[in-house]
């Protein structure tokens, strides 16, 4: 039973049998460049083909007002995004990282202050070109999604201020999150319309967990994020796509909440308390597909190739038990501390 990539990923998301475990690969730009050199290929698409990667990640190009860039007194590059946030770009020794140094809503004291903020416009993006990009991937599974209503909000307003708003000024917090989701709903609907049925997964990125537990209580998550999550899942389902929730950390406590909201899959399955693959599969495997899991904090950067192979087999056998319900990937985008031979090892496993 041969499947193409789109068929394979959709079967996994529907928790049906697959001909082999589907795979994804995400990497920071430095790793992408290193992989091309390592494999002696000329494009990142060649890298994906080499490792038999089933998912592709096209995005519409930004065509809005010019974004400002500058250099600080130390010669470090600073760039502004279309939200008005500013980031400093630094070299870690392995890769470039961006650090938010200016958040445009930090000085807002009242609802009136928040309402003065100019939200980005959806027509700042080239949806016609996005549609043309998809022509290259007719047999691949297409995933779209950027940082979600909580994660982007932390780049508009500092997290400590947002958390204080959520306790002391709930109307302000709701205004920020609801405005974020209103933009996302319009943006993603334009993507779905342009794609004409070709998008398979909508995946907003929101990090609700730490290494030890949730950032907020379950009841607070329900108050601020449940209804907006339902709106996003409903949009995905309206256009025949699946909804995948990205959240780092120990989020087991809100998995039942996510299911109530209509979430179809979760990722990245970090190796933290409560996210052990055996427990996830036992308790939620008949309702959720799992994506990720191969540890980017331990085994991938610091383990041997044999240890990477062992862990990869373990996740495939547990989360993909019955040849269904699992998409192989690392537990985060591959970063510069992961050696090339361990990436080879992860994708060399029979799947």
pLDDT level of residue 74 (50, 70, 90 thresholds): confident
Give pLDDT, residue 329: 98
pLDDT level of residue 225 (50, 70, 90 thresholds): very high
Give pLDDT, residue 271: 94
Q: Please state the pTM of the whole predicted model.
A: 0.95
Q: What is the pLDDT of residues 96-142, one digit of tens each?
A: 788 999 999 999 999 999 999 999 999 999 999 999 999 999 999 99
Beta bridge partners of 100: 87
- Separation of alpha carbons 29 and 44, rounded Å: 10
Q: Of 120, 117, 83, which is closest to residue 100 (Cα–Cα)?
A: 83
- Separation of alpha carbons 252 and 249, rounded Å: 9
Contact 300, 341 (CB under 8 A): no
Give pLDDT, residue 146: 86
- Separation of alpha carbons 150 and 245, rounded Å: 12
Give pLDDT, residue 138: 93
pLDDT level of residue 240 (50, 70, 90 thresholds): very high
Residues in the chain: 351
Give the start-end residues of each E strand in the chain: 55-56, 61-62, 69-71, 77-80, 86-91, 96-102, 125-126, 141-144, 201-202, 242-246, 265-267, 289-291, 326-327
Q: What is the pLDDT of residues 295-321, one digit of tens each?
A: 999 999 999 999 999 999 999 999 998
Q: Of 340, 292, 297, which is closest to residue 315 (Cα–Cα)?
A: 292
pLDDT > 70: what percent of the chain?
A: 100
- Separation of alpha carbons 36 and 242, rounded Å: 31
Name all domains of the chain by residue range, CATH numbers in brackets: 5-64+113-348 (3.20.20.210)
Burial class (CB in 10 A: 0-12, 13-18, 19+), 339: middle
- Separation of alpha carbons 135 and 72, rounded Å: 41
For residue 128, give the DSSP letter: H
Residue 259 has pLDDT above 90, yes or no: yes
Give pLDDT, residue 148: 87
């Amino acid at each position: 039973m041969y499947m193409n990539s789109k068929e394979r990923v959709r079967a996994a998301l529907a928790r049906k049998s697959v001909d082999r475990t589907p795979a994804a690969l995400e990497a920071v730009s430095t790793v992408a460049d290193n992989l091309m050199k390592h494999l002696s290929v000329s494009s990142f698409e060649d890298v994906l083909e080499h490792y038999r990667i089933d998912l592709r990640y096209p995005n519409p190009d930004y065509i809005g007002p010019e974004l400002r860039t500058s250099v600080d007194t130390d010669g470090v590059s600073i760039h502004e995004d279309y939200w008005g946030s500013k980031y400093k770009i630094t070299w870690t020794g392995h890769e470039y990282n961006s650090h938010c140094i200016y958040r445009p809503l930090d000085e807002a004291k009242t609802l009136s202050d928040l309402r003065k903020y100019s939200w980005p416009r959806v027509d700042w993006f080239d949806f016609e070109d996005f549609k043309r990009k998809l022509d290259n991937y007719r047999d691949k599974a297409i995933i779209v999604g950027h940082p979600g209503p909580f994660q982007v909000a932390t780049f508009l307003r500092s997290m400590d201020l947002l958390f204080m708003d959520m306790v002391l000024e709930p109307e302000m917090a709701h205004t920020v999150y609801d405005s974020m989701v209103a933009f996302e709903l319009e943006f993603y609907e334009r993507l779905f319309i342009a794609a004409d049925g070709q998008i398979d997964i909508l995946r907003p990125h929101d990090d609700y967990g730490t290494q030890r537990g949730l950032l907020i209580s379950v009841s607070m998550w329900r108050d601020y994020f449940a209804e907006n999550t339902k709106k996003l899942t409903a949009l995905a389902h309206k256009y025949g796509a699946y909804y995948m929730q990205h959240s780092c950390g120990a989020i087991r406590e809100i998995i039942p909440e996510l299911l109530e909201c209509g979430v179809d899959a979760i990722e990245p399955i970090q190796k933290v308390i409560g996210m052990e693959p055996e427990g996830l599969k036992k308790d939620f495997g008949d309702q959720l597909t799992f994506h990720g899991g191969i540890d980017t904090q331990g085994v991938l950067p610091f383990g041997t190739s044999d240890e990477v192979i062992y862990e990869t087999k373990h996740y495939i056998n547990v989360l993909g038990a019955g040849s269904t319900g699992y998409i192989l990937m690392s537990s985060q985008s591959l970063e510069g501390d992961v050696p090339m031979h361990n990436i080879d090892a992860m994708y060399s496993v029979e799947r």
